[in-house]
Chain A
Amino acid sequence: MAEFNSKDTAAFKGVWVFCEQREGVIMSTSYQLLSEGRKLANDLGVELAGVVLGHNVKEDYLKALGGYGADKVYYCDHELLDVYTTDAYTKVICDLVEDKKPEIFLIGATNIGRDLGPRCAARLHTGLTADCTHLDVDVAKYKEFLKTTSTIDVDNTVFEENTNLKMTRPAFGGHLMATIICPRFRPQMSTVRPGVMQTQPYDDAGAAKTVIEKVAVQLSKDDINVEVVEVVKAAKQLVDLIGADVVVTVGRGISKDVEGGLKLAEELAGVLGGVVGASRACVDAGWITADHQVGQTGKTVHPRIYVALGVSGAIQHLAGMQDSECIIAVNKNESAPVFDVASYGIVGDLFKVTPMLIEAIRTLKASK
Chain B
Amino acid sequence: MKCIVCVKQVPDTSGVVAVKEDGTMDRAAMATITNHDDLAAVEAALRIKDATGCKVVVVSMGPPPAEGMLRELLAMGADEAVLVSAREFGGSDTYATSQILAAAIKKVGVDNDDIIFCGRQAIDGDTAQVGPQIAEKLHVPQVSYVEKVEVNNGKVTVQRQLEDGYMTIKVNTPCLLTCLKELNEARYMSVGGIMECYSKPLSVFNYETLKDDPLIDVDTIGLKGSPTNVYKSFSPPVKGAGMMMEGADKATVDQLVGILNDKHII
Alpha-carbon distance between A347 and B247 when the two chains are bound, in angstroms: 7
- Residue interface bits B233-266, CB-to-A below 8 A is 1, else 0: 1111101101111011110111011011100011
A305 and B266 contact, CB distance less than 8 A: yes
- A sample of 18 inter-chain contacts (CB < 8 A) reads A122-B132, A122-B137, A175-B236, A176-B19, A180-B231, A181-B228, A183-B229, A184-B227, A225-B140, A234-B164, A319-B14, A325-B239, A325-B265, A344-B242, A344-B259, A345-B242, A347-B244, A348-B248
A123, A131, A360: the one contacting B136 at CB < 8 Å is: A123
When distances are taken between beta carbons in the complex, the residues of chain B under 8 Å from A227 are 169-171
CB pair A185 B144 closer than 8 Å: no
Instruction: State the B residues within 8 Å of A (CB).
Output: 11, 13-14, 17, 19, 23-25, 93-95, 98, 123-133, 135-137, 140-145, 157, 160-172, 175, 220, 226-237, 239-240, 242-245, 247-250, 252-254, 256-257, 259-261, 265-266
Flag if B172 contacts A225 (CB, 8 Å): yes
B248 touches A238 (CB 8 A): no
The A interface is mostly helix, strand or loop, or mixed, namely mixed
Q: Are A232 and B128 in contact (CB under 8 A)?
A: no
Query: Contacting B250 at CB < 8 Å: which of A87, A319, A356, A364?
Result: A356
Given contacts A119-B142, A237-B164, A357-B257, contact A177 B234 (CB under 8 A): yes
Residues of A in contact with B (beta carbons under 8 Å apart):
83, 86-87, 90, 110-112, 114-115, 117-119, 121-123, 125-131, 146, 148-152, 166, 170-185, 225-234, 237-238, 240, 272, 296, 304-305, 319, 323, 325-328, 334, 339-349, 352-353, 356-357, 360-361, 364-365
A343 in contact with B239 given A151-B234, A225-B175, A352-B248 (CB within 8 Å): yes
- Contacts A226-B171, A319-B14, A364-B266 hold; do A344 and B243 have CB atoms under 8 A apart? yes
Q: Please, which residues of chain B bring their CB within 8 A of the CB of A178?
A: 230-233
Residues of A close to B167: CB separation below 8 A = 83, 228-232
A92 to B119 alpha-carbon distance, docked (Å)? 27
Of A117, A127, A170, A353, which one neighbours B253 at CB under 8 angstroms? A353
A128 in contact with B257 given A172-B25, A226-B141, A230-B168 (CB within 8 Å): no
B170 & A114 in contact (Cβ 8 Å cutoff): no
Q: Which residues of A contact B226 (CB under 8 A)?
A: 127
Q: Contact between A128 and B95 (Cβ–Cβ < 8 Å)? A: yes
Question: Shortest beta-carbon distance, B28 to chain A, in Å?
Answer: 14
Name the CB-closest residue of A to B236.
A177
Q: How far is the CB of A7 from chain B (nearest CB, A)?
A: 10
Assess whether A128 is in contact with B129, with CB atoms less than 8 Å apart.
Answer: yes
Tell me whether A328 and B256 are in contact (CB under 8 A): yes
Q: With A and B bound together, what is the CA distance between A126 and B260 in angstroms? A: 42
Partner of A111, one of B161, B230, B245, B253: B161
Interface contact A346-B248, CB-CB below 8 Å: yes
Asked whether, in the complex, the Cβ of B243 is within 8 Å of the Cβ of A115, the reply is no
